[in-house]
Amino acid sequence: MTKKSFQKNDEPKMLVSENYSKAGVILSIVFDTRRKKTNGLYNVKFRVTHKRKQVYYNAGVDLSLNEWYAMTTTRKKDLLEQKGLIQLGFDGIKSHIIALIKNGNFSYDKLNARLSRGMQNSILTAFYNKIEKLNKNGQVGTAGWYLCTVKNIEKFIIKDLKFSDINKTWLQKYENFLIEEDKSRTTISMYMRAIRAIMNDAKEEDVITNAEYPFGKGKDKFKIQNWTGRKMALSLSQIDEVLKYPLVTETERKCRDLWLFMYLCNGISVNDLLRLRYSNIKDSEVRFYRKKTTRTNPDQKEIAATLLPQMQTIIEKWGNSDRKPTNYIFPFLYGDITPIDEKRIVKNLTKLINDKLTKIGQDLGYGNISTYTARHSFATVLKRSGTNIAFISESLGHSNQKTTESYLDSFEKEERQKNAELLLRFEGDGKIKK
């Protein structure tokens, strides 16, 4: 701020000290004398003028009239600090204006988005804002994913993170931290995708530029690993052994039967299983949409699974006795349930089924069996039986056949490895003779 830039008489109640102008956008520091505060001071503000519209932003500094005029020549420490704060705010808004003009898309909405993030400039704040929004929308599961991620980030960092801190180097260090924490590859991928989603939001709102975006291809970008975890699918003979396994308690039988229903019903998830109503049964088929992709793919196709006699038996045994079309088939959820309670019920039942089936799998020597195994087994059994991949893709509810091909390939990798070992299964010690 220079002395000659003060304009005492240009505006009776709005004193201007500094201007910056570029491509029709004018940024000014103004002293707003229109309203005196109870302490006798006035606000310092930043004014942005564009296409004859003026928008004001509070600088967070209050001064008296004498302090305002003394700003250029003062040597007082407190006034110099105030002057520095004003200049810092001015330069910050100026940098956002320059970036938006450079990208060719300046607007007040874009500027406000940058400033609302930039004044806090906090990745953690962005995470918690996202979580709050998701919870309000009833997306409790997705909100939980973001919450787990941000809580883990807080264990890794010493201080809060700015958007500019997130680059390839930081992401690599965080990935190594997760590996050292013995996180699963799936968990690592999920955490990284959550960070990427936050950065996508920031890029969408022009909080960061394309150059600042840290994900993608290129030597200065971070690429999220497509980890291929161990996705065990059971063979038909193994499923038969699971079904013949002797069970003792009613809970064990219910969990095993629900798992079988999931396998037969196109590998349906627990989330979708509990939302099935009797109205979903039409013409001897169970028809439903995947809740997981309802928001992300509004054009998704309805999934149709043949209602086999075994499925009908399970419904008669464990289903809701009141078969009104609006009633849930399996009596776990109920009307007027909150999204949080709904998520809790789904999560608890998933854990219960996984615990009971894992015990069966370990006793049979198959390892862990889960609700996810039901989906994998459905797809893999069909593929090994020669079923067309397009049909499998449609049955799984995939919007892209390439997704199904990649999905099935990961199933079969373990099978290929097992078959490769047969090539060296000699009699005796199995060692190759020198």
| Half-sphere exposure in the Cβ direction for 145 (13 Å, CA) | 17
Cβ atoms 203, 117 nearer than 8 A: no
Selected residue with higher pLDDT from 241 and 99 = 241
Does the predicted model carry a pTM greater than 0.85? no
1 pLDDT higher than 50: no
* Confidence (pLDDT) at 8: 43
Query: What is d(CA 379, CA 375) in angstroms, rounded to the nearest whole number?
Result: 7
Express each pLDDT in 329-359 by its tens digit: 999 998 778 888 888 899 899 999 999 999 9
Which is it for the CA torsion 387, 393, 394, 395, positive or negative?
Answer: positive
Express each pLDDT in 275-288 by its tens digit: 999 999 999 999 99
Confidence category of residue 119, pLDDT binned at 50, 70, 90: very low
Q: For residue 345, count other CB atoms closer than 10 A to its CB.
A: 16
Express each pLDDT in 243-252 by its tens digit: 999 999 999 9
Query: Which of 262, 347, 333 lies closest to 303, judged by CA?
Result: 262
Q: What is the number of residues in the chain?
A: 434
Confidence category of residue 390, pLDDT binned at 50, 70, 90: confident
Q: Which residues contact 389 (CB under 8 A, 6 or more apart)?
A: 383, 401, 404, 405, 408
Express each pLDDT in 258-306 by its tens digit: 999 999 999 999 999 999 999 999 999 999 998 876 555 556 788 899 9
Confidence category of residue 434, pLDDT binned at 50, 70, 90: very low
406 pLDDT higher than 70: no
* Confidence (pLDDT) at 342: 86
Mean pLDDT of 393-411: 72
Confidence category of residue 162, pLDDT binned at 50, 70, 90: confident
* Confidence (pLDDT) at 276: 95
